[in-house]
Amino acid sequence: MKRNMGAGKKVITAVVISAAIFAGSFAALGAKKSAYTFQSGGAKITCGQSAKGILNSLGKADKMIVQEAVQGNGKERIYSFKGFELCTLSENNGAQKVQSVCILDKNVSTPEGIRLGSTREAVEKAYGTGCKEDEGVLYYTLGDTELKIYLTNDVVDGIEYLIADKS
């Protein structure tokens, strides 16, 4: 009796391919974020990074304000876009670095789906409960970034991305 070896090889190949796909999917799910990142269109904005590519990607701002930095180190620029503001600080070499992003409009959300008007429950489902809380502000820290969620009566009324405070 002759055995059909081709069928066995096909089954083994299918099992190996399925295992590889599953392992790749599982690895992607397990990948940890290293920073809180805001997205607008194709721009991914992480506080602390160079602003040049981000500003090019976002296009012309609706409004820009230039002022002396609060701590007196260079110029601060606040770029207003539809639904959010991006604040940069000029470094010694003149390059701009992202300092903060502030969501201003309920039509703009975090990549995790949190927006002005979201509930505390939705925030905790998206980001967890392991955060510092002080006077209605939830402080989530990830790497060198911080996400502040402002709550009034357990409803989000402010969202701000920042460079994490090292103190």
Q: Tens digit of pLDDT for each residue in 13-50?
A: 443 334 333 434 333 344 567 999 999 988 999 999 99
Cβ 47 vs Cβ 66: under 8 Å: no
Domain spans, the chain: 1-31, 38-163
Q: How many CB atoms lie within 10 A of CB 30?
A: 7
The answer to whether domain 38-163 has CATH 3.40.33.10 is: yes
Please state, in angstroms and as integers, the Cα–Cα distance from residue 77 to each residue in 16, 69, 84, 87, following that order: 54, 9, 14, 6
pLDDT attached to residue 162:
96
Q: What is the pTM of this model?
A: 0.79
For the stretch 104-120, pLDDT in tens is 999 999 999 999 999 99
